[in-house]
């Protein structure tokens, strides 16, 4: 079980050149930027911030579309780059010259956008259960090849609308499988784990802004199975391979390449090679009718894609390490905080040691 947060964090509202951002902060020293995932906020990082060692300054902002940051629309056609530009504006306002980045789930995709845009100032990257560099949904192989030319099976139309409706309604009761609390405790963590900070984390989940131009975003009809293709607004469209893959390619092409630590749970059902949130997996299981079969639409091999991407990253001069935590789901830093913190602190200190050698 996670220990409750004992000491207050700084809670800052910072006006940047792009928007007003709400930021959790702790400590002084080298900057570590923590980027949260979808259907959450910076609150998920509270315990990680609390235990950051001396000599480090942790910053955990709410991304646009989440938490207490100013509510501006996300242009999904830029992939993750609206978030990247927001974070770069925040770092500029705070006069941060170099920094480390830690990204969870959607935040992992944002990390690749930061590498693509600002590699020279990034000292290290830690990816925690990151989505595939090629985007979420609708791709077939290790290289992120789309199943269909219009990227059907990705984007805003793939989200359960009942789940989004209940987020908008602020539902806290565990009514059924579509309740936000049920989704969090079933998929964010490996059951039967339940965090001591459950109420805080549920509030964080419920902070996501919902609507046709927000979460989950818009979509267009497709003649290809499963009948929906990405639109142009909101976070889930931003993660579509239609827009996200170009950002990953830019990260591969950049120099220098900061060292990467990849941490994931072996029981993650959100990001895996058989994700229960992927239409290929759901079609194969018979949960969605009309599946055209594995030859045309296999489950997206998300973990395999990340590993293949990192192997190419290394071939072009980068370095990386993968750590798989047994019995852990999609949120290692909540489920096994001490183990995760030890991995993160070692990665940060190793980077510092190499720079000072």
Domain membership of residue 36 (yes or no) is yes
Give the contacts of 203 (CB within 8 A, at least 6 positions apart): 43
Mean pLDDT across the chain: 95
The Cα 347–Cα 124 span in angstroms is 8
Count the domains in the chain: 1
Structural contact between residues 32 and 107, judged by C-beta atoms closer than 8 angstroms = no
- Whichever domain contains 344, its CATH number is 3.40.50.1820
Confidence (pLDDT) at 352: 76
State mean pLDDT over 169-184.
97
User: Is pLDDT at 6 greater than 90 in this prediction?
Assistant: no
Q: How far out from the chain centre does Cα 32 lie?
A: 16
Confidence (pLDDT) at 8: 66
pTM: 0.96
Give the contacts of 350 (CB within 8 A, at least 6 positions apart): 259
Domain membership of residue 199 (yes or no) is no
Confidence (pLDDT) at 357: 53
- pLDDT tens digit sequence for 334-357: 999 999 999 999 999 998 766 665
The Cα 240–Cα 136 span in angstroms is 6
Domain membership of residue 22 (yes or no) is yes
Domain membership of residue 254 (yes or no) is yes
Of the chain, the end-to-end C-alpha distance in Å amounts to 38
Domain membership of residue 178 (yes or no) is no
- pLDDT tens digit sequence for 228-269: 999 999 999 999 999 999 998 899 999 999 999 999 999 999
Domain membership of residue 309 (yes or no) is yes
Look up residue 284 and give its two tokens: 């194969």
Domain membership of residue 17 (yes or no) is yes
Domain membership of residue 113 (yes or no) is yes
Domain containing 348 equals 10-147+239-356
Confidence (pLDDT) at 23: 98
- pLDDT tens digit sequence for 103-138: 999 999 999 999 999 999 999 999 999 999 999 999
């Amino acid at each position: 079980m996670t220990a409750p947060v004992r000491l207050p964090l700084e809670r800052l509202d910072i006006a940047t050149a792009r928007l007003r951002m709400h930021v959790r902060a702790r400590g002084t020293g080298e900057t570590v930027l923590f980027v949260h995932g979808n259907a959450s906020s910076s609150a998920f990082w509270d315990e990680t911030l609390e235990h950051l060692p001396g000599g480090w300054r942790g910053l955990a902002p709410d991304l646009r579309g989440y938490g207490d940051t100013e509510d501006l629309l996300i242009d999904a056609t830029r992939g993750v780059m609206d978030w990247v530009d927001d974070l770069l504006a925040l770092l500029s306002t705070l006069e941060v010259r170099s920094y480390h980045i830690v990204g969870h789930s959607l935040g992992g995709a944002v990390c690749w956008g930061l590498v693509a845009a600002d590699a020279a100032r990034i000292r290290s990257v830690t990816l925690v259960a990151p989505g595939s560099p090629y985007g979420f949904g609708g791709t077939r192989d290790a290289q992120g090849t789309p199943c269909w030319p219009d990227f059907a099976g990705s984007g805003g139309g793939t989200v359960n609308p009942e789940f989004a409706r209940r987020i908008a309604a602020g539902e806290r009761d565990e009514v059924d499988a579509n309740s936000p609390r049920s989704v969090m405790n079933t998929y964010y963590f490996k059951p039967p784990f339940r965090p001591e900070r459950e109420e805080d984390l549920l509030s964080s989940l419920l902070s996501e802004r919902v609507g046709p131009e927000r979460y989950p975003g818009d979509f267009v009809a497709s003649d290809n199975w499963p009948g929906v293709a990405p639109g142009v607004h909101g976070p889930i469209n931003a993660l579509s391979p239609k827009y996200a893959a170009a950002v990953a390619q830019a990260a591969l092409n950049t120099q220098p390449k900061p060292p990467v630590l990849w941490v994931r749970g072996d029981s993650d059902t959100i990001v895996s090679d058989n994700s229960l949130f992927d239409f290929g997996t759901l079609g194969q299981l018979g949960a969605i009718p009309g599946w055209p079969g594995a030859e045309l639409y296999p489950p997206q091999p998300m973990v395999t894609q990340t590993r293949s991407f990192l192997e190419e990253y290394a071939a072009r001069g980068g370095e990386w390490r993968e750590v798989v935590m047994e019995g852990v789901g999609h949120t290692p830093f909540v489920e096994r905080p001490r183990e995760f913190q030890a991995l993160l602190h070692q990665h940060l200190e190793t980077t510092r040691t190499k720079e000072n050698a």
